[in-house]
Chain A
């Protein structure tokens, strides 16, 4: 009997021995200014589990929800075919099992680089769900690569280490290879691939249901976007 969905599935691990880089984040700085004066905020972190982020928010008296949507999107049980027989993902199943929260629940959603690496079929439905779970006036922070970043830009995990400072940790996706006769089980290491590069118009369209949008362009070819519901 299988107790856990996907218990034999892939897991996201921080890259062992990789150098952690720091970067200054204007979007995070603006968010920090708003939540420094607030109490008991409800925050949703959509990156892989970050002890640093959990410590940061709980230490300041806030509640934090952690949900790794990128890893969840790799669940093999989501694979299906559309009416033309082309491979696609079961969006309905994904949203039935992930981002299940009451409406208008969160003050802040930290998307990080999720839209850049999430499968195409899931991007708009996920943003739509995030709109509904954000409180009116709630804010969402997302990072988008610019075209200059290149197609092989690694997927990073972001840890909050200051009011406007992030530590970046490269993420790898580890999955167990099936054991073949006479050989040991081995581990396949893969990474999340950059799925697309949004331009400003694409980003504005993606967040068109939000009340306002602000762009911050950084030198490391990352475009930070802060939207308000």
Chain B
């Protein structure tokens, strides 16, 4: 894992992780992760080579690769056209590009007052 000067942690495509990932900074994930990912208040981006088999709890989630697991986002979820997601999504907002694959539930919970 490397951290750039702009405080974005990155997991490269050759990296394989099994276990619980948690952090207090944004994460760009292009490798293989199995387990759970907790980034409350921060964003997760699954890169085009990323393969995630984990539950995700983050502020924002962008998926360009593959994700198998439930996504809990306090803000927004973006599924790009190359995304393959199997699992339920709970978020305040969601954006899905044409071509993205989703097998699961979408549940939008808007924050009170918005």
Contact = CB atoms under 8 A, between A and B. Distances in A.
B32 A54 contact: no
Interface in A51-85: 51, 54-55, 58, 61, 63-68
Contacts of A11: 101
A182 to B, nearest CB: 26
Interface of A is mostly: mixed
Contacts of A13: 99
B98 A67 contact: no
A49 B103 CA distance: 8
Contacts of B94: 54, 58
Contacts of A51: 95-98, 100
Given A54-B106, A58-B94, A3 B68 contact: yes
Interface string B15-43: 00000000000000000101000000000
Interface of B is mostly: strand
Contacts of A49: 96, 100-102
B57 interface: no
A114 B81 CA distance: 23
Which of A4, A12, A14, A68 has most B Cβ within 10 Å?
Answer: A4
A35 B66 CA distance: 33
Given A3-B34, A3-B66, A7-B84, A66 B106 contact: yes
Contacts of B106: 54, 58, 63-66
Contacts of A7: 51, 66, 84
A49 B84 CA distance: 10
A4 B107 contact: no
A213 B99 CA distance: 34
Contacts of A14: 98-99
Nearest to A67: B103
Contacts of B105: 63-66
A65 B89 CA distance: 10
Nearest to A42: B105
B103 A66 contact: yes
B108 interface: yes
B53 to A, nearest CB: 5
Contacts of A68: 101, 103
Nearest to B107: A63
Interface in B37-68: 51, 53, 66, 68
Interface of B: 32, 34, 51, 53, 66, 68, 84, 86, 94-108
Interface of A: 3-4, 7, 11-14, 48-49, 51, 54-55, 58, 61, 63-68
5 contacts: A14-B99, A54-B102, A54-B106, A66-B102, A66-B103
